[in-house]
């Protein structure tokens, strides 16, 4: 768990280093003079431009657009307006900005001849050029100028003054241009959540701005009134013509309806159809009842016929017969007569007169009952026939009623169709008649749908350009742009620009930082600069390098030092000489110029060009006494490159060079060898195995980091011991140099 936490903390620290804001601020501080110069230049240009820009004034008037228009009658359908629609106000705002209203304002104010909208005069240079061109009477001066410049500037668009195809086209182009300019200056700003709109206009003249804003509002109101009157007039004409057609159509439909009623002898279609319907309903009920009675009679008749009309006992078993009133009376009489016979038979014999009379009475009652039953059966047959005939008659009557009903329904359908046509024509006619009367009533009603709440007044102060704000934006924008360019340039150059980058980007120790010394172009630093009072910080910086080097080699006895760099021009030779001067104040030092390809030490010490040196010593033409000379007023001995040779690499890799180097190491405490740059030739790689340490010189903003790392890698591949890097030529205003100086440069070492 602790390892994971340590890894997270390390990652966070690395991320913070990657986005170090302090580094970017240091970069911007390094570019501060260039950034400041660019900002000042852009500010001066902005001031020059703003001084020549004519100020513009804006005047604004406020209109209130009525959402509910004042009207005499309701005729919104005629006008095509829906003031309750949420898009109504937005539509009115767009109408104010329309090209048609702009053209009317231009025409009303005659802006085509106003000075603000007249074509701009040609530039002064063009006027001067045309005035100095000799032309024929009918020749265009611009054609002469173009003809003379065409051979030299054929790639430039020299058509400065294109002639119009014809006057009409030129006039149309001017009209379109004026309309565009007018629309660009017009400002229509609705007030949120209200029915108010501000109409503004930009102009160089305050009076013109107010006049155009007020005129635009008046034109908008007048245009709406004219449009409403035109719509009213056209609506009245169309309604009048249409009303005649509708009236004639209504009359024809009424005539057709009347003829139909007369042909079908109709007084009231609803009563006729209802009467037939009620009659058919009654006949249907009667027919159902008759059929029921007929079926009952037929059933009874069939029962009687099956039992026989003479079988009194069987017939009496039929409820319809036994329940008849006469049969019931006869049955009562029979029961009475039978009871009388039974009572008398107990007293008298069969031949008694009373018994004979009682039996005769019983027989008569029974005979009478049989006669009544026969009549009743005959009546049942007659009733069935009557009911059957009545049912057939009702069925025939119902069929006739159905036919009559269907005929009346067909007549009703045709009648309703004609009646609907009459009613529809009447409604349309009445609607158009009402619209025509409403339109005529409001034909001269001129209530405006908008009005001014505030008229535009000539402004006292210009609205634009806001010169202070533009100047401020220019300064801020140019500053931001300059900072971005500075950071981009710093990122693209990818060079060493601070002591921190030496350790972070090159993974090498920083031995010291040498301040930049200002000299003239194509000149070298003076050999006496180290002892100059004006360059105290310069010499102190080399003493710091000396101290750093000595502290690194207290006990190892390192004597031979190689000084090299990545590319030419990094101050390698000057660094070797000044380091040797710093060491010579403490030890016996010999400086050997091993850069045989491009030697500079002899010229810096003002020695003759034929001064023998290292090349002469290795070749054996001269000895140590001839090649080694002392620097005046110092304890430093130097050996210059000597006579120029064609094979410097062979000389440095030869055995005599190694032998002389070993021999001289016994005579001096330190030997400093100045070699050629590593990325150019291999001299330093040949010398590196012969020395105890290497001091690598990197100039501020000179070589790219990748190139430096590659050169150091070549030395490391040979197991060379690189003590560290000297950052040379760091500007004094750099904060990294100031920090370094405050830490190391407070004391001077003698």
Predicted confidence (pLDDT) per residue in 285-296, tens digit: 887 887 787 777
- pLDDT at position 1 is 39
Token pair 């012969």: residue: 690
Residue 472 and residue 459 share a domain? no
Q: CATH code at 628? A: 3.40.50.300
Closest of 87, 104, 63 to residue 227, by C-alpha: 104
Position 427 in a domain: yes
Q: Apex CA 246: angle with CA 241 and CA 252, to 5°? A: 135
Q: What is the pLDDT of residue 11?
A: 42
Q: Which residue has the higher pLDDT, 35 or 245?
A: 35
Who has greater pLDDT, 5 or 95? Answer: 95
Beta strand ranges found along 204-280 (DSSP E) = none
3-class DSSP state of 474: helix
Q: What integer pLDDT is reported at residue 695 of this predicted model?
A: 95
Residue 264 inside a domain? The answer is yes
Q: 99-109 and 167-185 are packed helices; what angle lies between their axes, rounded to 10 degrees? A: 100
User: How many folded domains does the chain comprise?
Assistant: 3
Is 66 inside a domain boundary? Answer: yes
Same-domain check for residues 446 and 568: no
* Across 240-250, average pLDDT: 78
pLDDT in tens, 437-463: 766 655 555 566 788 888 889 998 888
pLDDT band of 411, cuts 50, 70, 90: confident
d(CA 701, CA 710): 17
Percent of the chain with pLDDT over 70: 76
Q: Say yes or no: 435 and 295 in one domain.
A: yes
d(CA 190, CA 195) in angstroms, rounded, equals: 8
Range of the domain at 621: 558-730
Same domain? For 233 and 299 the reply is yes
Domain termination residue (choose one: 397, 429, 464): 464
| pLDDT in the model for residue 149 | 60
Task: Give yes or no for residue 735 having a pLDDT over 50.
Answer: no
* Residue 722 to residue 562: CA distance in whole angstroms: 9
* Strand 196-203 versus strand 186-190 pairing type: antiparallel
Domain presence at residue 337: no
- Both 97 and 44 in one domain: the answer is no
In a shared domain, residues 610 and 718: yes
Spatial separation of the C-alpha atoms in residues 265 and 284, rounded to whole Å = 27
Q: Which residue has the tokens 């009207």?
A: 71
Comparing 162 with 350, the larger pLDDT belongs to 350
- The widest CA-to-CA distance across the chain, in whole angstroms, is 217
> Which strand (E) or helix (H) includes residue 138?
none
267 pLDDT more than 70: no
Say yes or no: 669 and 689 in one domain: yes
Is 233 in the same domain as 216? yes
**Residue 290 falls within a domain, yes or no?**
yes
More confident residue, 594 or 277: 594
Q: Quickly count helices (H) and strands (E) in the chain.
A: 27, 12
445 and 593 part of one domain:
no
Asked if the structure places residue 200 within a domain, the reply is: yes
Whole-number pLDDT of residue 669 = 92
Please say which residue of 429, 464, 499 terminates a domain. Answer: 464
End position of a domain, from candidates 414, 447, 464: 464
The whole-model pTM stands at 0.48
Both 36 and 63 in one domain: the answer is no
Short-list 700, 707, 575, 579, CA closest to 636: 579
Contacts of 9 (CB under 8 A, 6+ apart): none
Residues 377 and 257 in one domain: yes
Residue 226, domain member (yes or no): yes
Query: Are the CB atoms for 688 and 562 separated by under 8 Å?
Result: yes
Three-state DSSP at 632 gives coil
Q: Are residues 460 and 482 in the same domain?
A: no
pLDDT at 73: 40
Whether residue 242 is contained in a domain is answered as yes
Strand 636-639 and strand 186-190: the pairing is: unpaired
Residue 312 has pLDDT above 70, yes or no: no
Report whether 696 contacts 712 (CB < 8 A): yes
């Amino acid at each position: 768990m602790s390892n994971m936490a340590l890894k997270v903390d390390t990652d966070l620290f690395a991320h913070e280093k990657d986005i170090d804001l302090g580094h970017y601020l240091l970069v911007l501080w390094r570019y501060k003079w260039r950034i400041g110069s660019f900002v000042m230049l852009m500010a001066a240009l902005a001031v020059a431009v703003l001084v020549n820009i004519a100020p513009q004034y804006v005047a604004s008037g406020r209109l209130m657009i009525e959402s509910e228009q004042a009207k005499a009658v309701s005729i919104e359908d005629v006008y095509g307006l829906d003031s309750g629609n949420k898009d109504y106000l937005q539509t009115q705002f767009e109408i104010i900005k329309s090209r048609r209203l702009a053209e009317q304002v231009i025409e009303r104010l005659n802006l085509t001849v106003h000075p603000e909208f007249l074509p701009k005069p040609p530039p002064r240079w063009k006027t001067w050029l045309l005035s100095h061109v000799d032309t024929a009477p009918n020749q265009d001066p611009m054609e002469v100028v173009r003809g003379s410049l065409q051979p030299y500037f054929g790639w430039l668009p020299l058509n400065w003054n294109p002639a119009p195809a014809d006057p009409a086209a030129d006039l149309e182009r001017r009209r379109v241009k004026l309309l565009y300019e007018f629309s660009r200056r017009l400002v229509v700003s609705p007030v949120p959540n209200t029915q108010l709109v501000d109409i503004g206009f930009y102009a160089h003249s305050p009076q013109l701005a107010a006049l155009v804003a007020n005129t635009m509002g008046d034109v908008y109101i007048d245009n709406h009134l004219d449009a409403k009157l035109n719509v009213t007039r056209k609506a009245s004409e169309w309604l009048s013509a249409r009303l005649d057609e509708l009236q004639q159509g209504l009359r024809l439909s009424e005539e057709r309806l009347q003829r139909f009623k007369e042909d079908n002898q109709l007084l009231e279609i609803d009563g006729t159809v209802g009467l037939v319907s009620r009659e058919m309903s009654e006949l249907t009920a009667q027919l159902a009842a008759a059929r029921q009675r007929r079926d009952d009679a037929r059933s009874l008749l069939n029962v009687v016929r099956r039992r026989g009309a003479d079988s009194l006992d069987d017939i009496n078993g039929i409820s319809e017969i036994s329940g008849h009133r006469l049969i019931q009376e006869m049955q009562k009489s029979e029961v009475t007569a039978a009871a009388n016979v039974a009572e008398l038979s107990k007293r008298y014999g069969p031949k008694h007169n009373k018994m004979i009379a009682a039996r005769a009475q019983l027989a008569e009652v029974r005979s009478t009952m049989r006669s009544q039953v026969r009549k009743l059966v005959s009546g049942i047959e007659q009733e069935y026939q009557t009911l059957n005939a009545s049912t057939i008659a009702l069925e025939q009557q119902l069929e006739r009623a159905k036919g009559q009903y269907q005929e009346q329904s067909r007549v009703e359908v045709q009648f309703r169709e004609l009646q609907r046509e009459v009613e529809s024509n009447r409604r349309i006619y009445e609607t158009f008649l009402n619209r025509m009367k409403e339109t005529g009533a409001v034909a001269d009603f001129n209530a405006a749908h908008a009005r001014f709440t505030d008229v535009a007044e000539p402004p006292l102060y210009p609205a634009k350009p806001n010169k202070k704000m533009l100047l401020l934006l220019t300064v801020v924008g140019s500053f931001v742009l300059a900072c971005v360019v500075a950071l981009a340039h710093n990122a693209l150059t990818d060079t060493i620009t601070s002591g921190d980058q030496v350790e972070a980007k090159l993974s090498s120790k920083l031995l010291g930082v040498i301040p930049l010394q200002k000299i003239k172009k194509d000149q070298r630093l003076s050999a006496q600069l180290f002892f100059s009072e004006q360059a105290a910080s310069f010499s102190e910086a080399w003493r710091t390098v000396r101290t750093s080097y000595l502290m690194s080699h207290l006990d190892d006895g390192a004597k031979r030092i190689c000084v090299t760099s990545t590319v030419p021009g990094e101050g390698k030779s000057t660094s070797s000489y000044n380091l040797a001067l710093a060491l010579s104040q403490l030890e016996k030092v010999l400086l050997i110029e091993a850069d045989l390809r491009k030697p500079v030490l002899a010229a810096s010490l003002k020695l003759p060009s034929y001064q023998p040196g290292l090349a002469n010593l290795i070749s054996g033409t001269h000895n140590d006494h001839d090649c080694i000379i002392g620097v005046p007023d110092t304890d430093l001995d130097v050996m210059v490159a000597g006579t120029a040779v064609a094979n410097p690499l062979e000389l440095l890799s030869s055995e005599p060079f190694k032998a002389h180097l070993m021999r001289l190491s016994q005579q001096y405490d330190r030997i400093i060898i100045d070699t050629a740059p590593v990325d150019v030739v291999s001299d330093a790689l040949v010398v590196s195995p012969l020395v105890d340490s290497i001091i690598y010189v990197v100039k501020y903003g000179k070589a790219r980091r990748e190139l430096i790392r590659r050169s150091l890698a070549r030395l490391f591949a040979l197991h060379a011991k690189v003590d560290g890097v000297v950052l040379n030529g760091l500007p004094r205003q750099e904060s990294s140099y100031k920090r370094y100086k405050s830490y190391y440069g407070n004391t001077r070492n003698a």
